[in-house]
Structure 1
């Protein structure tokens, strides 16, 4: 029996329950058992827990971010002891397979979800990487960007945003504008590499860039920001919306009828090949994970309380064990 955090009902952080009698997961052909070192808290975890995205099956082990060591493998790609990372479908509210929830000592991954962890970076923090980086990568890739493309990233200091800014610059070779609060303007420009930053509290990006449109807008916010983003797209630009509680199904349906421009909704998918590209950039120190705060698994309730505060910078990481 091993430790895991699960919910038996939805509600406030108090419904998160750390148990020590969770059955160690077993694996099937093409799967890998991973001994976890770290995971993270993502907004979707909080929304599943509080019932905004009600889970299809309870009890549920939350979490989709994985960083650790291969413990057992039924795959030719991976062997015991490999340092690995992955996004699993444990993050998804409709998933019924508790083996792949990552708030646990051990979790299961399909072999093609995994990527080699970058050398020189501790697994103790790498659990903060998979979901947000893959979300950012897939959101940007949807725009079929060419070098020099103009990219607007909303909430550039957040979990997805801080990687979208960096990947747009490093991997997609784009010109990047990012919105941020006044306390994060210097951080987004000087540490993340944005070409321009917009103080969303004092400036209206739709007015500022009405004559300098973008090839893609990556929007983690929605609502009024979404409507204004339409006005700063090029004739063939892409609006890339990150699925969140502000997602409006009517706007999605309307977006399907766009001519020339493209409306895309991003619900991140596990992808080991894409994650390996991201990890290679991390290993070369071309992009950086910004850690907001680290909690131990036993303090998962406090981690959720902290993660639900607005305007955090970077990721909330949950450490499960030490890298040996």
Structure 2
């Protein structure tokens, strides 16, 4: 099958098109003919040589941990899915390819109303936002601060907080993205020096919860404006979180989260802006765009 894979670590250029053997569904798993795959910072870190302790990597490595496509092979013991089912799901690696094998409890049915590009980029950042907001205890009437609100993770976080009843969601971003933030229900605030004062101007009594996708100074500003730092979570800067006494995120992805999120999409409460869609053989270009750290919405790969 065709894949975008690594045979060495480094800059985006090490991510190249190649042919690798087709994977096969085993007990409890399904094989999915991939239509689209999301591009995430986790994938970029893998490309650069980082790996979580539970992964024992060997080349070639196919990145990609979220996908959407059509089931074409069902392993022993799987009864909930059949060939031809349209699904979206998640894993750890392997999604930048024509086929991916995933446990049957890590996929769910794709809503008919959800386009393929959105479906491929939905499960990773969507679940990340869900995990953080749940850990923060976001509820009806809260004022929530989201750092990096124009990115894919931030986009999900803003809309999910509103769907769960937050009265005000403040989103940090550069000024070019302020209109976009207003369109998804956030009050925009500009990054940089003086951030805490600008947040206080919007929320003079402080904020109830903070979702961080930036780290560093943004996380430091968060503890200045939040009422209870136990309600702060970061996805990117555990070291600063430890220094500040902010709890680390310990939750895990689940298909139950994914089903809830797809339901919110069907109701029109979660919308994902696709920043750009690249063909599979241009995965390196997608990583170049990702590594800039700028831009609104989601980057995805479209697979033939």
Question: RMSD of the TM alignment (CA)?
Answer: 2.1
Correspondence for 2:87 among 79, 84, 88 = 84
Asked whether the equivalents of residues 70 and 86 of structure 2 are also in contact (C-alpha less than 8 Å), the reply is: yes
Match of 1:197 in 2: 188
Match of 1:28 in 2: 26
Deviation string, structure 1 residues 94-153 (Cα, Å, up to 9, x no partner)? xxxxxxx10111101111111211222221342111111110111100012221112100
Asked whether the equivalents of residues 44 and 291 of structure 2 are also in contact (C-alpha less than 8 Å), the reply is: yes
Unaligned runs of 5+ in 1: 91-100, 256-261
**TM-score normalized by the length of structure 2:** 0.91
Match of 2:272 in 1: 289
Match of 1:106 in 2: 99
Asked whether the equivalents of residues 265 and 271 of structure 2 are also in contact (C-alpha less than 8 Å), the reply is: yes
Asked whether the equivalents of residues 277 and 301 of structure 2 are also in contact (C-alpha less than 8 Å), the reply is: yes
Partner-residue secondary structure (3-state), 1:161: helix
**Structure 1 residues 153 and 251: CA distance shift in structure 2, 3 A:** closer
Deviation string, structure 1 residues 291-314 (Cα, Å, up to 9, x no partner)? 010100011111111221232110
Correspondence for 1:157 among 150, 162, 167 = 150
Correspondence for 1:312 among 290, 295, 300 = 295
**Structure 1 residues 251 and 199: CA distance shift in structure 2, 3 A:** closer
Match of 1:258 in 2: none
Give distance in 1, aligned partners of 2:199 and 2:252. 34
Asked whether the equivalents of residues 280 and 303 of structure 2 are also in contact (C-alpha less than 8 Å), the reply is: yes
Match of 1:67 in 2: 68
Unaligned runs of 5+ in 2: none
Match of 1:263 in 2: 247
**Structure 1 residues 226 and 201: CA distance shift in structure 2, 3 A:** closer
**Structure 1 residues 208 and 161: CA distance shift in structure 2, 3 A:** closer
Higher strand share: 1
**Shift of residue 204, structure 1, vs aligned partner:** 1.8
Give distance in 1, aligned partners of 2:95 and 2:7. 16
Partner-residue secondary structure (3-state), 1:303: helix
**Shift of residue 201, structure 1, vs aligned partner:** 4.4
